[in-house]
Structure 1
């Protein structure tokens, strides 16, 4: 079986909603091995784990970017969501669907399976990657699989500042450059920059990233209460923020922390406070709690009690000097003594 035939089988598994966990695991292992062979990457190579500081955030090292493929459900849902978006665009107009893929990493992992389902006349990618080693590896993968005709451009650039320079209209912006809670990496600056240059009908993948404050069960880590939304990153919020200032902080959100939280148990118990990340890739393709490394709640502290009181938390998503969810814990005003 050729590499292209193997990749076609991989695409079939990733796009089948009935795929079992065991088959998905085995298929991703096969996919990773194919990608490593085609790219020539040595995961233990010197410098491969080094992150690249862009001056405005972090682009993860080649090795870490390569290992993202092992996040099974994340890989499957993003490939399936992208496939649905491309199919929908192709159904409503003639000509190739143009995907601007920002942050390809060393494999262009999310693009390759679709190249077995469409022709170059139906689908084109413009690929942006800031890390020179990742860009070169992705180019080797595409060439090795004889998919050159699907890629209009390989661009070495910081997608957070890149000025789109293409005569072909962009139908879909694909950027999966995030960690849970939108820590460090460049997802927000990249999508803020690119979507600000494109018409409102352009599809953004992922469609929405949601952060919220939650309470976990102390014993099981199960989410037992959602205390409110912190931030949503989607086309609407990016457009609204773009109208304010590219580098400005997002609006501060204050969420109160109730003294007592009723849990689903006979005896009320207050577990840790955490930040929850939810991801809608596209349509019905979502990443729920614990589906992925992206959606593991991040514990930020114990639930307050009388000995350690807390009134509220202020959350501000900052873009400078690097992407960061800033938190300020608001303590109750001291009670004046008579």
Structure 2
């Protein structure tokens, strides 16, 4: 297995480069896929692996869909580089052994393998949480095959929205990437709140910040943009609907056992009768992701940050008010209501 560990070191080195060479990065992602698929023999076409897990506060995606997240190139690169940067910061502050709590590992613990290859088991420890039994089984076997089991404090095949942390005082980094654009469907928000409310000491949260911004956009300018086009030329933020950071558990509270719809955030936007005649004439919901410090996933860089164009009201001669809410229930996400 040393060959695979050496390859993971090379892959990790590519992910850590500040300047992005897409050819090199794509090659690293392909090599990464070859390693993990060779070691797990996962059948992505299996009905069992395609089954999602549904709960009162969101969905945990099936093994197949979790495996495919690796192919979102900049998403993978920036999350892994953010983890490397967070560990480097803690080491600079004198932390000798760093403990990462990783919730929602999927079948490969994708965001952690190149990091485990880089650090010794005395420098880096991890607790790995995955609700999906199929994904959990693949993940645990992969870690053991690669010889990373000495890094692991505990494997937990549990629901991270209900998990009770045994050793919260040892946690340095909380990592969870269980999200889609718009923070819809999946459990990122309840997972983050549940874990953070159990930890008293300062920690690093990855992603460091998630937010949903409501913006006015010029759809034509957006559609005809180039890679050099600044977001400000076609997008004007007007409201931040919700923000998730390491203090969110202090003010975003809800009952994890309640099956009713629970509203976590709500904003009202007045739309004037002539708004749709202006250059900024389309409402969009933008997912903001700050992984760690300067490591951010910008609009359009990932499937996670593509704009969601919102339904506009019927044209009338009177102002209309849009109420946009973020809710938690069996299908978390945003709702719209015009009045």
TM-score by shorter chain over 0.5: yes
Q: Which residue of 2 aligns with 1:34?
A: 35
Give the equivalent residue in structure 1 for 2:131. Answer: 130
Distance 1:35 1:235 in 2: 32
Find the partner of 1:225 among 222, 236, 261.
Answer: 236
In the TM superposition, residue 268 of structure 1 has moved relative to its aligned partner by 4.1
3-state secondary structure, aligned to 1:90:
helix
Question: Where does structure 1 lack aligned partners over 5 or more consecutive residues?
Answer: 331-338
Per the alignment, residue 210 of structure 1 pairs with: 211
Alignment of 1:168-317 (within 5 A): 169-221=170-222, 223-242=234-253, 248-260=262-274, 268-302=278-312, 305-306=315-316, 311-317=320-326
* 1:210–1:279 Cα contact (<8 Å) kept: yes
How far off is 1:326 after superposition? 2.2
Unaligned runs of 5+ in 2: 224-233
Partner of 1:115: 116
Q: Distance in 2 between matches of 1:167 and 1:230?
A: 30
In structure 2, the residue corresponding to 1:315 is in which secondary structure?
A: strand
Q: How far off its partner does 1:205 sit?
A: 0.7
The 3-state SS of whatever aligns with 1:22 is helix
Counterparts of 2:273 and 2:213 in 1: how far apart (Å)? 18
Matched, 1:16 2:21: no
CA distance in 2, matches of 1:73, 1:16: 12
- Cα drift, residue 142 of structure 1: 0.9
- The size of the alignment, in residue pairs, is 324
> For 1:42-80, what per-residue CA distance to the aligned partner results, in whole angstroms no more than 9, with x for missing partners?
111222222111232100010100000000000001001
- Residue in 2 that maps onto 1:58: 59
Corresponding position of 1:335: none
Alignment partner of 2:247: what SS?
Answer: helix
Per-residue deviation, residues 206-246 of structure 1 (Å, max 9, x unmatched): 0111101123323243643222211111122322224x766
Paired residue secondary structure (2:263): coil
d(CA) in 2 for partners of 1:310 and 1:77? 42
Partner of 2:231: none
Structure 1 residue 171, shift from structure 2 partner: 0.6
C-alpha deviation, 1:320, in angstroms: 2.6
User: Which has the larger displacement, 318-327 or 72-81?
Assistant: 318-327
Residue 251 of structure 1: SS of its match in structure 2?
Answer: strand
CA RMSD of aligned residues (A): 2.2
CA distance in 2, matches of 1:224, 1:305: 22
Distance 1:280 1:71, change over 3 A: same
The 3-state SS of whatever aligns with 1:152 is strand
- Whether 1:325 and 2:327 are equivalent positions in the alignment is no
Question: Counterparts of 1:260 and 1:96 in 2: how far apart (Å)?
Answer: 59
Task: Give the whole-Å Cα distance in 1 for the aligned partners of 2:273 and 2:137.
Answer: 54
Query: Which stretch of structure 1 is more off in the superposition, 63-72 or 112-121?
Result: 112-121
TM superposition score normalised by structure 1: 0.89
Deviation at 1:251, TM superposition (A): 3.4
* 2:107 counterpart residue number: 106
